[in-house]
Amino acid sequence: MSVDLLLKNGIVIVDGRETTRSVAVKSGKVEGVYVPGSEPSAHETVPCDGFYVLPGAIDIHVHLRDLSQSDKEDYATGTMAAAAGGVTTVVDMPNSVPPVLTMGDLEDKIASAEEKRFVNIGFYAGIPKDPAEFDQAMVPHILGMKEYPHAPLVKGATSSPQRLCGCMKISHEHGLPLLFHPDSSKPDAIAEDMDTYFDLHSCDSEVKSIQQFLDAQEKVRGRLHVCHVSCATAIRLIGKHRAEESLTAETTPHHLLLSSNQFPNKDGTAKMLPPLRSSYDNRSLRLALRGQCAIDCVVSDHAPHTEKEKLAPFLKAASGIPGLETTVPLMLTEVFEGRLSWVDYLRCCCSAPAWVLQIRAKGVLTRHYDADIVVVEKRERVIRGADFYSKAKVTPFEGRRVSALPVMTIVGGKTVYSHGKFLVGQGTAGRVPVRAAR
């Protein structure tokens, strides 16, 4: 038997430890992980001595824009950013323009993504004003439903207990998780000054929103996934109710590693929702990610905007930062510097995201799983937004030192990216849409 590709003598994590192994790829799948000397023959062999061979990250929270917001990002630049960042699967949020509320909206996104993709892309859908009118045609093509209580996708969809129950009910009926942005501020609330802005989007507001969704879940059952958890108090509440089957949660590298007092907030460089919190919250999130397991995944919340929108004065600036090219390097730096274990990295960036969305055969580097692989070099460097493939180049991590660089990215057995170059054209690697194992 001859395999298609052999990543030879790389550093592979086996039982949580760095071990020298060769990874064989055949017909888009991992054929096996071999002790050196026992490998099958291969059509192509890539020596990986000294490089880490890891499962590609699965980022279940990105905004790839496209459609009428292609000035901010499109499926080509967004998935090039993913590939260069070591991310082999992304799941795209429905707050696009237009938002995803019908099969027609979703078809437009699928068609564009199909044509422009460099990695696997999955989708979420929003929920209409009357949740019972959810367009069921979308169900086979989406991985979850998403609710934004503070910024509804449809005008007038207030986050009343009735609506939240309706959202839980419709997602439960279709066996999909309900993801939500925890923020209980009023959709029409306008912040006239900085204090009001941070009050509106406070930790109390985050916790209150989580409680409202938990109340709905108690009545209707179903699965909840809390997006971008940012506060110690929110972790405490999630920790009390947590269960893989019914309540999962994610956080972001910026909420783990950055605090609000590091930024003067003159412009929107570090403006995102939820906002950056205190260093106490950073520490609580890092603890929750390590032993406590109150948080399942790390996501980028890649939310690109134009430079003009980001560099406007803080209150006027757009909210959201690019993250696809910084998440894996930042999290691997935590591993390389001894603050995160390999087991926790592989769980929060690869296997747990696949579990949360029930994505089949992804997120683990093992036989017969999809050959979505990233080769990483351990190397000191500095993050520069100007180097991003993303159209969004303003990052609060500008100038930050990291010690990991994804050098090669393989998607479904195809080498998409290698040492700063794209080896395939648009629309040739990756699956669109990624489906759930239902």
- 151 contacts: CB under 8 Å, gap ≥ 6: 95, 181, 183, 187
Binding mask 165-204 for ligand NCD (x = CB under 6 A): ----------------x-----------------------
Q: Which of residues 296-335 bind Zn ion (CB under 5 A)?
A: 301
The answer to whether 233 and 226 have CB atoms below 8 angstroms apart is: no
> What are 267's strand-pairing partners?
313
CB of 388 to Zn ion, least distance (A): 18
Query: For 308, what's the count of Cα atoms within 13 Å in the CB-facing half-sphere?
Result: 2
| Residue 91 lies near ligand NCD (rule: CB under 6 A) | no
Name which of 300 and 351 has its Cβ closer to ligand NCD.
300
Query: For 2, what's the count of Cα atoms within 13 Å in the CB-facing half-sphere?
Result: 6
| Residue 272 lies near ligand NCD (rule: CB under 6 A) | yes
Name which of 63 and 393 has its Cβ closer to ligand NCD.
63
Name which of 92 and 370 has its Cβ closer to ligand NCD.
92
Q: List the one residue from 21, 29, 141, 181 that touches Zn ion (CB under 5 A).
A: 181
What token pair was written down for 267?
Answer: 């412009």
The Cα 363–Cα 89 span in angstroms is: 9
Contact region with Zn ion (CB under 5 A), list: 179-187, 276-284, 326-334, 429-437: 179-187
Calculate the CA dihedral of residues 221, 222, 225, 226 and round it to 10 degrees.
-30
**Size of interface with ligand NCD, in residues (CB under 6 A):** 9
| Residue 63 lies near ligand NCD (rule: CB under 6 A) | yes
Of 238, 216, 224, 215, the closest CA to residue 180 belongs to: 224
- 321 contacts: CB under 8 Å, gap ≥ 6: 254, 269, 270, 271, 272, 301, 302, 303, 392, 394, 395, 396
Q: What sign has the CA pseudo-torsion 191, 192, 197, 200?
A: negative
Query: Distances from the Cα of 222 to the Cαs of 24, 247, 375, in angstroms?
Result: 39, 9, 38
> What are 26's strand-pairing partners?
29
Q: List the one residue from 95, 159, 202, 212 that touches ligand NCD (CB under 6 A).
A: 95
Q: Is 399 exposed, middle or buried (0-12, 13-18, 19+ CB in 10 A)?
A: exposed
Residue burial 20-41, b: 16+ Cβ < 10 Å; e: rest:
bbbbbbbebbbbbbbeeeebee
| Residue 370 lies near Zn ion (rule: CB under 5 A) | no
272 binds, among Zn ion, ligand NCD, none (CB under 5 to 8 A by kind): ligand NCD
Q: List the one residue from 319, 395, 409, 415 that touches ligand NCD (CB under 6 A).
A: 319
Q: What are phi and psi of 240, to 5 degrees?
A: -70, -35
The answer to whether 6 and 45 have CB atoms below 8 angstroms apart is: yes
| Residue 301 lies near ligand NCD (rule: CB under 6 A) | yes
CB of 269 to ligand NCD, least distance (A): 13
Which amino acid belongs to residue 186? K
Q: List the one residue from 76, 273, 340, 373 that touches ligand NCD (CB under 6 A).
A: 273
The beta strands (E) that lie in 93-246 are given as 120-125, 144-147, 178-180, 224-226
| Residue 210 lies near ligand NCD (rule: CB under 6 A) | no
Name which of 8 and 181 has its Cβ closer to Zn ion.
181
Residue nearest to Zn ion (CB): 181
Name which of 206 and 301 has its Cβ closer to Zn ion.
301
Name which of 13 and 295 has its Cβ closer to Zn ion.
295
Alpha helices (H) in 191-326, listed in sequence order: 194-200, 203-220, 232-241, 253-257, 279-287, 307-310
256 binds, among Zn ion, ligand NCD, none (CB under 5 to 8 A by kind): none
Binding mask 327-366 for ligand NCD (x = CB under 6 A): ----------------------------------------
298 binds, among Zn ion, ligand NCD, none (CB under 5 to 8 A by kind): none
Q: List the one residue from 320, 385, 396, 412 that touches ligand NCD (CB under 6 A).
A: 320
Name which of 13 and 394 has its Cβ closer to ligand NCD.
394
| Residue 303 lies near ligand NCD (rule: CB under 6 A) | yes
Residue numbers at the binding site for ligand NCD (CB under 6 A):
63, 95, 181, 272-273, 301, 303, 319-320
Residue numbers at the binding site for Zn ion (CB under 5 A):
2, 181, 301
